[in-house]
Amino acid sequence: MPESVSGTEQTQIALRIEDLVQEFPARRGQTVHALRGVSLAVHQGETLGVVGESGCGKSTLLRSVMLAPRPSRGKVFLEDVELTGLDHRGLTKARRRLALVFQDPYSSLDPRFLVRELVAEPMLAAGMARADRAKKSAELLEAVGLDPHHHGARRSSELSGGQLQRVAIARALATEPALMLCDEIVSALDVSVQAQILNVLRELRSRLRLTSVFVSHDLGVVRHVSDRIAVMYLGTLSEIGPAGELYQRPVHPYTDALISAAPGLRRAGDRAQGHLEGELPSPLAPPSGCPFRTRCPKAQALCAEQMPELQDFGGGHLAACHFPLRALPGR
C-alpha cells in the first residue's frame, strides 16, 4: 500500500506493524510490559533507526517482527503478507525474507568455516546452484568491502571484529531479504571501525536499495545511517520522523533530553550533559498515562491521566506528547 513519507513522495511499504504488544511473564505473577502498542511502517529502500535507553524494548521490537516469539497482540505485515496470520510452516518460509544481524558476530558465525562458505551457506539452503553461489558470495563480499579471494579464503576466526561484522552483513544479504534487521551491530566495535561499517550500510542502501531497521542506543550512530528515526520509551513509540528534522527540531521532551545528553549532538543553548534525569521506570509497573511523565520537566496532571497518542506535526513527523515542544500545525 503506498504511503506518504515526506508528504509528497509515494513509496511502497516493506514492513508494517500495528499496535504491537509484547508481554513476558515475570516472578510473583507479574508481567513485563516490553512493548505497549507500537505501530510504524518501514518504506522500501529506507533505513529506519530505532533509538532509546537500554530496556525500552528495541530488541524486543526486532524479535517480535521475526515473531520470535510471537507478539502477545498486534499485527506484523512484511510487504503484503501478514506474518501474524501465518501458521508455523508459512512463517518458516516467510522468515527467509527477513535477515537479522546481531551485535556479536562471533556467536553467529561458525569459526570452522571459510568466509566464502559462511556467505554462501544461506544460498545453499535456498537451493541455489554451486556456480551461482560462488559468484554471488564474491559479489557480496566486495559489496561489504572485503576481498573475495583474500578474505573469502580465511576462516572467520582469523578476521577482526569489524571484518566479521562485514561478513555477517554479506551473509544476511545472501538471500536478498526484503528487510534487514540490525540489532546494535556496531556497539562492540571501536569508533573508527564503527564508521566504516556505517559507511558500508549507507552504500548498500544506495546501491541495492536495501531496506533496514537499525537499532542502537547511540543517537550519533543512528543519525549516520537513518532516513527516519523512531524514538522508543518504555515499550512505546514517543516520536518518529525524518532524521535531520528530528535531531534539529525534536517535538517530544524525551527526544530533546536524549539529544541534549548525547556527547557530540548537543546544540547551541542545550544544558550541560546529564540533562536526562532520573531512572527509567520498571517495565513491570509502567507509570499511568504518559510513560515519560515521571522524568519530564513539562509534565502536568493530564500526563498522569491519559496516555498521549501520536499526532502529526507535519512532514511525517509524529510525536506522542500532551505538551509538545511546538504546537501542532494549524493550532
**Contact residues for ligand ATP (CB under 6 A)?**
24, 32, 34, 52, 54-60, 217, 283
Nearer to ligand ATP, 69 or 297 (CB): 69
- Determine the Cα–Cα distance for residues 268 and 265; give it in Å rounded to an integer: 10
Amino acid at position 133, single letter: R
Nearest approach in angstroms of CB 316 to ligand ATP is 24
Residue 158: how many CB atoms within 10 A of its CB? 13
Nearest distance from C-beta of residue 280 to ligand ATP, angstroms: 9
> Closest approach of Cβ 301 to ligand ATP, in Å?
28
Residue 44 or 282 having the CB closest to ligand ATP: 282
Question: Residues of 47-66 as b/e, b for ≥16 C-beta within 10 angstroms?
Answer: bbbbbbbebbbbbbbbbbbb
Q: Closest CB to ligand ATP among 284 and 304? A: 284
Comparison of 54 and 206: residue with beta carbon closer to ligand ATP: 54
Q: Toward ligand ATP, which CB reaches closer, 55 or 315?
A: 55
If the CB atoms of residues 56 and 246 are measured against ligand ATP, the closer one turns out to be 56
Shortest Å, Cβ 275 to ligand ATP:
20
Amino acid symbol at 110: D
d(CA 73, CA 35): 10
- Counting Cα atoms < 13 Å in the Cβ hemisphere of 9 gives 12
Contact 114, 152 (CB under 8 A): yes
- Alpha-carbon distance 98 to 172, whole Å? 9
What is the Cα–Cα distance from 1 to 119, expressed in whole angstroms? 33
- Minimum Å gap between C-beta 217 and ligand ATP is 5
- 198 near 116, Cβ under 8 Å? no
* Minimal distance, residue 31 CB to ligand ATP, in Å: 9
Provide the pairing of β-strand 236-242 with 311-312. Answer: unpaired
Q: Alpha helices of the chain — where are they, by DSSP H?
A: 58-65, 88-95, 105-108, 115-125, 130-143, 161-172, 191-208, 219-225, 243-248, 253-261, 301-305
Least distance from ligand ATP to the Cβ atom of residue 269, Å: 29
Q: What is the DSSP letter of 246?
A: H
Handedness of CA 99, 103, 109, 114 (dihedral sign): positive
**Minimum distance, C-beta of residue 225 to ligand ATP, in the bound complex (Å):** 17
Considering beta carbons, is residue 183 or 245 the nearer one to ligand ATP? 183
Q: Please say which residue, 54 or 107, places its beta carbon nearer to ligand ATP.
A: 54
